[in-house]
Chains A and B, each alone.
Chain A
Amino acid sequence: MAETTTAPRPVVATHGLWVVLPFAILCAAFLYPLFLIALQAVTGPDGALSLAQPLRVLTTPAFWRAFLNTIEIAVSASAGCVGLGLGLAILLSFVPFPGSRTAARLIETFVALPTFLVALAFTFLYGSAGILNETATTALGLAHPPVDFLYSRWGVVLAEVTVYTPFALRPLLAAFSLIDAAQIEVASSLGAKPLRILRQVILPAALPALLAGGSLCLLLTVNEFGVVLFIGAKGVITLPLMIYDKAIQEFDYPSACVVAVVNVALSLGLFSAYRLIVARIGGRHAGVV
């Protein structure tokens, strides 16, 4: 019997082409400016490539103070966001009370607010002439305002915690809503008290969300500019503020570019670490690692 064969349909190799346009836009709008910043950072006054400029900036005490401030504030604020977000998420998810849904929505609206607005509100609340200090000095007859934390790094941290807690809260609420209620009930029937259930059943299930929220907060707080500027804490210079100072106030663009490169490297490093952790934790939780 004669065999009939059907010629394979020609495959048009177009599957790679559709990425060209988005990639071109990405390069033009994002990668090229970044490249220019990086190039500026390593370009000497004579136009030649040189490491003199980066070495000069990176060896100044001011840079290291800003670097350490950035890390310290970001880590503290992120820890605060995760802690507060976790507490709120547990409260809103597992201790239902009248108006809990409204409370959750209200907290989430903070995401929509400009960050500096919170700093401004803090000034009205906790500033030296703010409501709290005015009330305290009038009521207690004090000569000086008793609450004096706002213009320190802890004022910045508190403002950032207020602004960014919803970014940790949201993924936690989503993760908690996905936890099988039967797991909690079975754990309870096996003799586990609420704290043990929280520690051994709920938190492990929410760990990827906790890491995701925490990492997002860390990224956002590392790059936070508005809050730090508006609080105006004495001696609290972070990397974004240093870039602003160098570029806008001192017109020292090469130095600003060096600091900006460090800031971008820090952000990308944190992001890579976050992806790595989520991949490992996520895989383990799926029971496949």
Chain B
Amino acid sequence: MLTIADRDGAASVAPSATQAAEVAGSSIDFEDVTVSYGGTVVLDRFSLSVAPGEILALIGPSGSGKTTALRAVAGFVRPASGRIRIGEQDITDIPPYARGLGMVVQNYALFPHMRVDQNVAFGLRAQNADPALIATRVGECLELVGMSSFARRYPAQLSGGQQQRVAIARALAIRPRVLLLDEPLSALDAQIRRNMVEELGRLHRDLPNLTVLYVTHDQSEALTLADRIAILRDGRLNAFGPSRSLYQAPTSRFAAEFLGRANLLPVTVSQLDADGVLARVRLGEHSLSVRCELQLAPGHGCLLCIRPHALRLADLPTGNGFRATVETALWQGDTQNVTLRVEGVALNLTVSPSQAMPERGSAVWVDFAPHEATLIADEPAHG
């Protein structure tokens, strides 16, 4: 499992073996879960395991079933078939109030007639917790999200970002085994969203045992926060893996296009290296070397996937490149986006704003490192 600590290089906060045992009850397992609304299947034999203490992002386009999957864990939709487990416990037939999960939704859903502290205390009161414990826990949770000084305010007196912090504090106050986040930042503007992504990351570093299922349509949020990402399409799991590797080596065309920008060039395999790590492919008259994780044979057609930032402009031919024509070059402040055409296919690359802008219509050499590109099976493009 790739943990936050692995990502950030902060080994000291990685869950220890003891901690792992403590949090073993917080894994989430979907086992062949199917959910349908009035005959329409929205989640189709969906299986997925979320490890204890990890952040797993469920992403996908509208109607892909990601929110349905989260709501099935929360208990608000009942699977037509399949089981859902948290730890060792089968929760499929347990009512939502007995599942012990925290949930944060897009519009915060704070109770407008309750003050901030009353909102945060709601779950503890519902569980008939001791008043002294409630007071302590409310204070801790508000401090955790930096909202201690707003305890006596009403939700209507808070900004969107503040309301979202309160919603998170409210969900955490009951010490949930699992935190379900349903597009929690989508109602916020871009700057606050960026700040909140950082805060959520910090929050999880403070609570490393908390398992988080994070539904979003924003791939940058998923890449920033999640240990692993599951991409859904039409109610099915399309791709799944650690965030970094799924981004660098997407396993499908859909995953490549949905998770960031991708250049997809049709190529033919000409040769496989003996170790099976690299392959030589032909792109028109060019022979290129690229990482290959598919079972392919020479002569097989597939797609070469290269991220825009992995391509480099070169003045002269290099060992692993091709010649392309510049169509447009746009300066975008902190980057330049260049559109090229090669073998009839348009592709994008990003270069530093300090680099000289290529002339429109000029021919340039483009190269890339073999390990920064990958081969994926050809399939119809999505929607």
B43 at interface, CB cutoff 8 A: no
In whole angstroms, what is the CA distance A182 to B127 when docked? 20
Interface string of B60-100 (1 = CB under 8 A from A): 00000000000000111000000000000000000111111
| Segment at the interface with A among B21-29, B109-117, B241-249, B327-335 | B109-117
Q: A185-B76, A190-B174 are in contact. Are A284 and B113 (CB under 8 A)?
A: yes
| Segment at the interface with A among B154-162, B213-221, B262-270, B286-294 | B154-162
B123 at interface, CB cutoff 8 A: yes
Chain A residues whose CB sits within 8 angstroms of the CB of B99 once the complex forms: 189
A100 at interface, CB cutoff 8 A: no
A196 at interface, CB cutoff 8 A: yes
| Contacts of A180-237 to chain B: CB distance below 8 A | 180, 182-183, 185-193, 196, 200-201, 204-205
B170 at interface, CB cutoff 8 A: yes
- B109 and A186 contact, CB distance less than 8 A: yes
Which of A185, A196, A200 is close to B96, meaning CB atoms less than 8 Å apart?
A: A185
Residue in A183, A201, A287 with the greatest tally of chain B CB atoms within 10 Å: A287
A19 at interface, CB cutoff 8 A: no
A288 at interface, CB cutoff 8 A: yes
- A285 and B170 contact, CB distance less than 8 A: no
Chain A residues whose CB sits within 8 angstroms of the CB of B74 once the complex forms: 185, 189
B180 at interface, CB cutoff 8 A: yes
B107 at interface, CB cutoff 8 A: yes
Smallest CB–CB gap between A211 and chain B, Å? 14
Chain B residues whose CB sits within 8 angstroms of the CB of A185 once the complex forms: 74, 76, 96, 103, 105, 109
- B123 and A190 contact, CB distance less than 8 A: yes
In whole angstroms, what is the CA distance A189 to B102 when docked? 6
A21 at interface, CB cutoff 8 A: no
B368 at interface, CB cutoff 8 A: no
Chain B residues whose CB sits within 8 angstroms of the CB of A287 once the complex forms: 112-113, 153-157
| Contact residues of A: prevailing secondary structure | helix
Interface string of B186-197 (1 = CB under 8 A from A): 000000000000
Q: A189-B97, A191-B174, A288-B156 are in contact. Are A182 and B105 (CB under 8 A)?
A: yes
Which of A183, A190, A204, A288 is close to B126, meaning CB atoms less than 8 Å apart?
A: A190
| Contacts of A236-289 to chain B: CB distance below 8 A | 284-288
- B156 and A191 contact, CB distance less than 8 A: no
Chain B residues whose CB sits within 8 angstroms of the CB of A182 once the complex forms: 105-107, 109
Interface string of B152-179 (1 = CB under 8 A from A): 0111110000000001001100100000
Residue of A nearest to B103 (CB): A189
Chain B residues whose CB sits within 8 angstroms of the CB of A191 once the complex forms: 97-98, 100, 123, 126-127, 174
Chain A residues whose CB sits within 8 angstroms of the CB of B110 once the complex forms: 183
Q: A180-B109, A205-B113, A285-B113 are in contact. Are A189 and B101 (CB under 8 A)?
A: yes
Which of B101, B111, B123, B127 is close to A183, meaning CB atoms less than 8 Å apart?
A: B111
Chain A residues whose CB sits within 8 angstroms of the CB of B122 once the complex forms: 187, 190, 192, 200
Which of B76, B95, B107 is close to A180, meaning CB atoms less than 8 Å apart?
A: B107
In whole angstroms, what is the CA distance A185 to B107 when docked? 12
- A192 and B113 contact, CB distance less than 8 A: no
Residue of B nearest to A182 (CB): B109
Chain A residues whose CB sits within 8 angstroms of the CB of B109 once the complex forms: 180, 182-183, 185-186
In whole angstroms, what is the CA distance A44 to B102 when docked? 74
In whole angstroms, what is the CA distance A187 to B76 when docked? 12
Chain B residues whose CB sits within 8 angstroms of the CB of A187 once the complex forms: 111, 122, 126
Chain B residues whose CB sits within 8 angstroms of the CB of A193 once the complex forms: 97, 126
Smallest CB–CB gap between A179 and chain B, Å? 10
Instruction: Sample 30 A-B pairs with CB under 8 A, ordered by A number.
Output: A180-B107, A180-B109, A182-B106, A185-B74, A185-B103, A186-B104, A186-B109, A186-B167, A188-B75, A188-B95, A189-B74, A189-B97, A189-B102, A189-B103, A190-B123, A190-B126, A190-B174, A191-B123, A191-B127, A192-B97, A192-B122, A192-B126, A196-B126, A201-B111, A205-B112, A284-B113, A285-B112, A286-B112, A286-B156, A288-B154
Residues of B in contact with A (beta carbons under 8 Å apart)? 74-76, 95-107, 109-113, 122-123, 126-127, 153-157, 167, 170-171, 174, 180
- Interface pairs A-B: 9 shortest CB-CB: A287-B154, A190-B123, A287-B156, A182-B109, A192-B126, A189-B103, A191-B126, A188-B96, A204-B113
20 new A-B pairs (CB below 8 Å) besides A187-B126, A190-B123, A204-B111? A180-B107, A182-B106, A183-B111, A185-B74, A185-B76, A186-B167, A187-B122, A188-B96, A188-B97, A189-B74, A189-B96, A189-B102, A189-B103, A190-B102, A190-B126, A201-B111, A284-B113, A286-B156, A287-B112, A288-B154
